[in-house]
Amino acid sequence: MEQLDRRFHPIREDLAAAYLTDQITALRYVDGEDYQVTKGTVALRRTPRDDAPLDTELLYGENVRVYETINDWSWLQNKTDNYVGYARSSGLNAVLHKPTHGVCAVATFLYPEPDMKAPPLDRIGMGARVTVTDNAGPFLRSVAGGWIYSKHLAPLGQNASDLAGIALQFLGAPYLWGGKTSLGLDCSGLVQIALDRCGVPAPRDTDIQARNIGISIGNGAIDIRNLILARGDLIFWPGHVGIYVDENIFVHANATEMAVTEASLEDIERGIKTTTGDVITDIRRL
């Protein structure tokens, strides 16, 4: 039997999701309960400690399945991309609302009243989901509480079409391992958020993205000079990914400059090969 990836399956030696009963052995199995994220971002960590590695972030309005809660830590699975980890329970609520809109701006604020001068309640980023119930001038009200500037929201299903253009909106955002917002994000987080805005569900990590997004237009040792690249092509190295823009320009979140930057693809390719010895392993097209 193929070993299940613990990043995407709720598996521990002492506890596992009930739907995995026939696939793995654990001391006990639980069905879990559904919750919704009620903060702008909630860290999803490898272990239930605030100083544990950040694997990814949960976004406002996402639904999760909680399998265990102890001392304000919930062991859960994100229902958007199936990622498993530990999150602070205080950022979750058992009351579920069906989202009607998504944040289409890089970031926006949640206000206590429809007034841009009011001190914001929270900051929410692209990819967040909101249930709209009312409007007041240029603001829409979230059923969970708070008001959001209407032009920063788009009805679900009203997607962008320019993947590279969405990624370019994050230029200058700092690099953060595990991050998924303009306050900080990593290479696969940038790709996942940009794809989501274009209506394309995507896995969280580069190795899974390289196997599941679009179609490959060449894998193995790739010479980009022999390929005609298209805007929005995803270019992969081991552990790294970015998006082709045009005229040899490439955008990616990278630890070299600790930011989202754009540069010549050939320069990036040469720099990575010089630094790590890695070469492009795949290029995937939607």
Question: DSSP letter string over 135-182?
Answer: EETTEEEETTS-EEEGGGEEETT-----HHHHHHTTTTPBB-TT-EET
Could you tell me if residue 5 is inside a domain? no
Residues 240 and 267 reside in one and the same domain:
yes
Q: Which residues pair with 215 in a beta bridge?
A: 285
User: Which pLDDT score, from 0 to 100, does residue 3 have?
Assistant: 84
Tens digits of per-residue pLDDT, 145-187? Answer: 999 999 999 999 999 999 999 999 999 999 999 999 999 999 9
Residues 250 and 274 reside in one and the same domain:
yes
- Indicate whether 223 pLDDT > 80: no
Nearest-angstrom CA–CA distance, 167 and 44? 23
Domain range for 85:
16-93
Query: Using an 8 Å Cβ cutoff, are 228 and 217 in contact?
Result: no
Nearest-angstrom CA–CA distance, 105 and 126? 6
Of 5 and 2, the structure prediction assigns the larger pLDDT to: 5
Run of H or E including 206: helix 206-212
Tokens of 136: 């007041």
Single-letter residue type at 183: L
Sign of CA dihedral 22, 25, 27, 31: negative
Tens digits of per-residue pLDDT, 26-84? Answer: 999 999 999 999 999 999 999 999 999 999 999 999 999 999 999 999 999 999 999 99
Residues 61 and 121 reside in one and the same domain:
no
Could you tell me if residue 61 is inside a domain? yes
Could you tell me if residue 238 is inside a domain? yes
Residues 79 and 113 reside in one and the same domain:
no
User: Which pLDDT score, from 0 to 100, does residue 1 have?
Assistant: 40
Q: What single DSSP character describes residue 71?
A: T
User: Which pLDDT score, from 0 to 100, does residue 2 have?
Assistant: 52
Q: Residue 255 is part of a domain; what is its CATH number?
A: 3.90.1720.10
Nearest-angstrom CA–CA distance, 220 and 124? 39
Residue 211's contacts (CB-CB under 8 Å, 6 or more residues apart) are none
Could you tell me if residue 4 is inside a domain? no
Please state the length of the chain: 286
If you average pLDDT over residues 190-205, what whole number do you get?
98
User: Which pLDDT score, from 0 to 100, does residue 190 have?
Assistant: 98
The count of structural domains within the chain is: 3
Name the residue with tokens 């919750």. Answer: 35
Residues 63 and 145 reside in one and the same domain:
no
Model's pTM, two decimal places? 0.95
Nearest-angstrom CA–CA distance, 203 and 188? 9
Q: pLDDT band at 220, cuts 50/70/90? A: low
Residues 105 and 89 reside in one and the same domain:
no
3-state secondary structure at position 21: coil
